[in-house]
Amino acid sequence: SQTIHQWPATLVQPVGSPLSLECTVEGTSNPNLYWYRQAAGRGLQLLFYSVGIGQISSEVPQNLSASRPQDRQFILSSKKLLLSDSGFYLCAWSWAGRNSPLHFGNGTRLTVT
Amino acid sequence: DQQVKQNSPSLSVQEGRISILNCDYTNSMFDYFLWYKKYPAEGPTFLISISSIKDKNEDGRFTVFLNKSAKHLSLHIVPSQPGDSAVYFCAATYAGGTSYGKLTFGQGTILTVHP
């Protein structure tokens, strides 16, 4: 079966500090990978998605970037965090090329102070 | 521009009764719709989906209805159980791009089922 791991679960970072959130998927190959964010009181918003190693598409302009150095690894980064980057970050995967739902990790609660 | 809307922030239901969660969308390109359930401090869990070629899909206690002309879908939970208490998100997507993973989510509805 497939599993998705995301860490850390919670993170408190000062403004201007860097960020690195990691996500890995097990039990599948060549998945589509996604980063979503849920800001306080709002729905989930797609930030990035990837259909293969080194292939990243950004959905909204922001202070964040994503990378996929390996087939089942997806990383969300920032060089300098802003207060507005606070939120709940979710990694997800889906089967490539199919009509299939997303499967989410347990998320990272990021608080920028 | 909120393309998927869940106009009820919360819903309270008695155990054993029916829970009906509603969702409206504006983008006529959407052709695949999903419902997710989310507990605090956890990621959303997929519940049920429906393609635009159908108007109903059922899985156990969960049934999703789609009214394309009204651009409206609903999730029925029968009978409701206290363990169903969670935030429910409606999501939509379309067959453009790479796959069906680029979802547009509603704001969520908090369901509370009282014993």
Q: Residue B75's pLDDT is what?
A: 98
| Tens-binned pLDDT, residue by residue, of chain A (113 aa) | 889 999 999 999 999 999 999 999 999 999 999 999 988 777 889 999 998 999 998 887 788 999 999 999 999 999 999 999 999 999 999 987 666 788 999 999 999 99
pLDDT for B48 beyond 90: yes
**Eight-class DSSP state of B79:** S
Are B102 and A46 a contacting pair at CB < 8 A? yes
- Please tell me which of the candidates A46, A96, A106 has its beta carbon nearest to residue B42: A106
Which one of B98, B103, B106 has the shortest CB-CB distance to A46? Answer: B103
pLDDT number for residue B100: 55
Contact yes or no for A47/A76 (Cβ under 8 A): yes
Amino acid A40: pLDDT:
74
Instruction: Report percent pLDDT > 90 for chain B.
Output: 82
Burial class (CB in 10 A: 0-12, 13-18, 19+), B40: exposed
Q: How far is A103 from chain B (nearest CA, A)?
A: 7
Nearest to B98 among A6, A32, A43 (CB): A32
pLDDT reported for residue B101 = 67
- A100 and B99: CB-CB below 8 Å? yes
A95 to chain B, any CB pair closer than 8 A? The answer is yes
Residue A85 backbone dihedrals phi, psi, to 5 degrees:
-80, -5
Q: Is A44 close to B105, i.e. CB distance below 8 A?
A: yes
Question: Which candidate, B68, B67, B50, B70, places its Cα nearest to that of B58?
Answer: B50
Per-residue pLDDT band for B96 (boundaries 50, 70, 90) equals low
A-contacting residues of B 95-114, CB under 8 Å?
Answer: 95, 98-108
Instruction: Using CA atoms of A105, A68, A13, A16 in order, give the dihedral in degrees to the nearest 10.
Output: -150
Residue B40 forms contact with A (CB below 8 Å): no
Q: Report pLDDT digits (tens) over B74-89.
A: 999 999 999 999 999 9
The pLDDT of residue B99 is above 60: no
